Amino acid sequence: MQSRTIACPHPEETQSRFGDGRLRLLSVICLSLGAFISIGGALLAFVWWTVVAQKGRRLPDKRLLAALGVLILVPAVVTEILVGGGISYGIRMGVILLISFWAYAEFRGGDMLDIFVWFFGERFGFDLGLAAEMTLQSFHLAGSDLREIQRAFSIKGMQIDYKTIIPAALTLLLLHIRRADETANLLAIRGFQSGGTHKPKFSTFPKDVIMTIFAVLIAILSLIYFW
């Protein structure tokens, strides 16, 4: 099985609140688990988010935020009416949504490759990390593609609504399929088969460790006291 070296530099971006991607990922897992388990864990996770996510409170487009809110609100209302517990569900899912927005805002290119190679090694971790990087990159590019589609619709005097959502979604899908094909061809031309050489680099600061400990404690408290 032949291995190739692929350079994956970290682009200059806004400095992350968490310098260590491993601790950030662990915090997201613990907070999501704590928020999902109970309303108490969700409230504690929300407090953690308000303290840590000072620069990561950027929310997505209002339309996307409204759509996601409806996806949470409708099941919550139906559940509350039929069997109860819908309010708890809405709060817990809402907090998880905020945590996911923060995690996405904190993501920097190369994070997933560093984490997977560190955990699984270069043989398997490189492929998994590369796939994760490409997936997260596609999410980022999807936002740019959607803005371009909205601009094209506005030039024609149209808006994305229930009548045009299907053509817009098909256009977005075709753009991603075409980009995936181009990426696959590029990797093939460069001779990539499997595995690669990559040396993970992490910058761990005391604040990362402290806030990760609090995130782990929230998950533990949710399991023990709030179940």
Summarize pLDDT for 26-80 with one digit per residue, the tens. 999 999 999 999 888 999 999 999 888 765 555 666 666 666 777 788 888 888 8
Instruction: At 27, list the tokens.
Output: 């915090």
Q: Do 225 and 34 meet the contact criterion of CB atoms below 8 Å apart?
A: no
Q: Assess whether pLDDT exceeds 90 at residue 185.
A: no
Which parts of 107-205 fold into alpha helices (H)? 111-155, 165-189
DSSP-assigned letter for residue 4? B
What's the whole-number average pLDDT of the chain?
78
Residue 16's H or E segment, with its range, is none
- Closest alpha carbon to 13 in 140, 118, 138: 140
Which residues are 196's β-sheet partners? 4
pLDDT at position 156 = 78
3-state secondary structure of 135: helix
pLDDT at position 161 = 66
Query: How do the domains of the chain map onto residue ranges?
Result: 21-224
3-state secondary structure of 90: helix
Greater confidence, 76 or 15? 76
Q: Assess whether pLDDT exceeds 90 at residue 199.
A: no
Q: Do 36 and 226 meet the contact criterion of CB atoms below 8 Å apart?
A: no
pLDDT at position 146 = 75
How many CA atoms within 13 Å lie on the side-chain side of 131?
8
Can you tell me the distance from the alpha carbon of 112 to that of 25, in angstroms, rounded to the nearest whole number? 9
pLDDT at position 226 = 64
Can you tell me the distance from the alpha carbon of 122 to that of 114, in angstroms, rounded to the nearest whole number? 10
pLDDT digits (tens, 9 = 90+) for 99-110: 988 888 787 777
pLDDT at position 73 = 83
Percent of the chain with pLDDT over 90: 16
Residue 93's H or E segment, with its range, is helix 86-106
pLDDT at position 67 = 67
Average pLDDT over residues 160-176: 74
Instruction: At 225, list the tokens.
Output: 């006291």
Q: Assess whether pLDDT exceeds 60 at residue 188.
A: yes
